[in-house]
Structure 1
Amino acid sequence: MEAAIDSFSHGFDNFLISTIVAGLLLTGSCVVYVLLTPMKELELLRQGNASAGLALAGVIIGLAIPMASALAFSISVFEQIIWGVVALLIQLLAFRGVDLLLKDLPKRIENDEAGAAILLIAVKISSALIIGAALWPATAPVPLP
């Protein structure tokens, strides 16, 4: 019992810092994404646009998956931040890719076209899963020669 308490007392500060950093990264990345994409998801959502809600949910999940992997596999807060920024950039590229494929994605979301939002979610989640899985070998210690 004493070993468990010692483990908790020594690891709690690292747990707390890493969790707070991950939460701030996720929140900050979502804000940056919403500001950089041409859609006004929150405004559309307040107007009852379900496709905007779907698209925003895809953003949050698409960013949370690689952030969780970065939290699990990074050896420092700095490394966690780097991978969080990489995840944001890839999610912005995923948006652009779907926009190029569908021609005028923001307008489709504004028109509440669920099919466009669903495709965007699928691309975001699949790219997030790939990024998240790629983090493990990317963060593995480099063997010395």
Structure 2
Amino acid sequence: MTDILSALWQTLASGLPFLLLHFFTTLVLLILGALLYTLITPFRERALIAEGNRAAGLVLGGALLSLAIPLAATLATSSLWLDIVLWGLVAVLIQLLTLAIFILLFRGFRAAIEAENIAAALMLVSVQLAIGLLNAGAMSG
């Protein structure tokens, strides 16, 4: 029994630092992506959400999920920290590019979200999640 506990402790002691490094690196990438996302959108999510605007809440929530999905794929498929950083940055850039293209194509998006147009918010969330899933699939190889 002592041998089993010793082996478990050794496994935990050797693996936990890598788990924490990879997790916190990905968390930083998620936060960075979310911050950049809020800078790109033509409206101020936090202020709108504080006012109770559900469309803004949906858009920001969808953005977090669409960023997290491909970042999770990098965690699942990469064992090297540098791979996680590199492919994580690529994932964030693809999601930000998706937002930029959507905003260019949907000219009245700012007004729609500020008017709490849930349909417009759901359309962006759907596009973001679709691209996030494709992005994750492509990264998974």
TM-score by length of 2: 0.90
Counterpart of 2:63 in structure 1: which amino acid? V
Structure 1: give runs of 5+ residues left out of the alignment: 138-145
Q: 2:36 & 2:107 partners in 1: Cα distance? A: 23
**Matched residues in 1 for 2:43 and 2:32: separation?**
17
Counterpart for residue 58 of structure 2: 54
Provide the residue aligned with 1:109 in structure 2. 113
Structure 1 counterpart SS, 2:79 = coil
- Corresponding residue for 2:34? 30
The farther-off stretch of 96-105 and 17-26 is 96-105
Output the CA distance in 2 between the equivalents of 1:53 and 1:61. Answer: 12
Counterpart contact for 1:33–1:88, Cα < 8 Å: no
1:5: which partner in 2?
A: 9
Give me the identity figure in percent: 33
Give 1:1-145 correspondences, 5 Å limit. Answer: 1=4, 2-137=6-141
Residue 72 of structure 1, CA deviation: 1.4
Structure 1 residue 22 displacement after superposition: 0.9
CA shift digits 1:16-49 (9 cap, x unpaired):
1111111111111101111122221111111111
Cα distance in 2 for residues equivalent to 1:108 and 1:57: 17
Match of 1:143 in 2: none
Tell me by how many angstroms 1:89 deviates.
Answer: 1.6
Segments of structure 2 that go 5 or more residues without pairing to the other structure are none
How many pairs are equivalent? 137
Q: Secondary structure at the match of 1:81?
A: helix
User: How far off is 1:100 after superposition?
Assistant: 3.6
> What does residue 141 of structure 1 align with?
none
Q: What letter is aligned with 2:70?
A: P
Q: Output the aligned Cα RMSD.
A: 1.4
